[in-house]
Structure 1
C-alpha cells in the first residue's frame, strides 16, 4: 500500500487537520482567533499572512471533504463520531462536565472529519477498487 493510502498517510492528514483546527481556534489563548481578537493585537502583515495560510488550509480541507464525502457522508461521519463520543462518555472514559472539555471534543471531531474527508478517496479505492475522479469542466458550456 502506498503512503497516501496507508494508516500513516491518514495520521499525517489528521495531524495537519489538528494543527489547522486548533491553530484557528481553541479554548486557550493560543489560537489565531485569540490573537486576532485580542485587545493588544493590531492587524498587520504577520497576522494577514497567518490568516491567509489558514484560509488556504481550510479551503483545501473543506473542498476535499465535500467532494469526497458529500453531504450524506458528512452527516453520517458526524453521526458516527458523535455516537463514539457518546459511547466514551457512557463508559466513563470521557467527561464533558466542563464547557472547555466539550469544545476540545468538538474540535477533535472536526479534525477527524476533515482527515477522513482528505483520505476517503484513498480508503474507497482500497476497499472497492474504484477510483474517484473530480468532475472537470471541459470548456463546453
Structure 2
C-alpha cells in the first residue's frame, strides 16, 4: 500500500505540473500567472520542493542506472501491450498520460526502493540508521 501512495503522489506531482487537459500549472501560468505573480511563485516553489524530494530520493536509492532500468521495463511493458494490440499509441493525449504514468512509476520506485530492499534483504541504508 505504501508504494501505491508514493506512486500516486508522484503521479499527482507530474500531472499537476503538466497534463493534456487545461488543468495544470504550466497552462495556468501561461493564461493567468501574470495576474497574480505571488501565487504563481508560491505554487511553483511547492512543485519544485516536491520534485527535489522525489528526484533526490530516487537518485540516492536507485541511481541513474536504476532510473534507466526501471524506465526500460516500463517502456518494454508498453511495447508488449502495443504488440498485443491491447493499447493504441495514435492518440497524443493518451501518450502524454502514458508518459506521466511511466515517469511517476520511476519516481515511485525510487522513493520506495530503500524500504523494499530493507524488507527483502534486512540491510539498511546509511541514511536509514538512527542515532
The answer to whether the superposition gives a TM-score over 0.5 is yes
In structure 1, what is the equivalent of residue 57 of structure 2? 64
Aligned to 1:28: 21
Give distance in 2, aligned partners of 1:92 and 1:126: 37
CA contact (8 A) 2:33 2:40 kept: no
Q: CA RMSD of the aligned region, Å?
A: 1.1
CA distance in 1, matches of 2:10, 2:33: 26
Once the two structures are TM-superposed, the CA of residue 88 in structure 1 deviates from its matched residue by 1.3
SS of equivalent to 2:44:
helix
Alignment match of 1:91 (pick from 70, 77, 84): 84
Uncovered stretches (5+) of structure 1, i.e. residues with no partner:
1-7, 135-141
Structure 2 unaligned blocks of 5 or more: none
Aligned to 2:48: 55
User: Aligned pairs, how many?
Assistant: 126
Higher helix proportion, which one?
Answer: 2
- Per the alignment, in what secondary structure is the counterpart of residue 62 of structure 2? helix
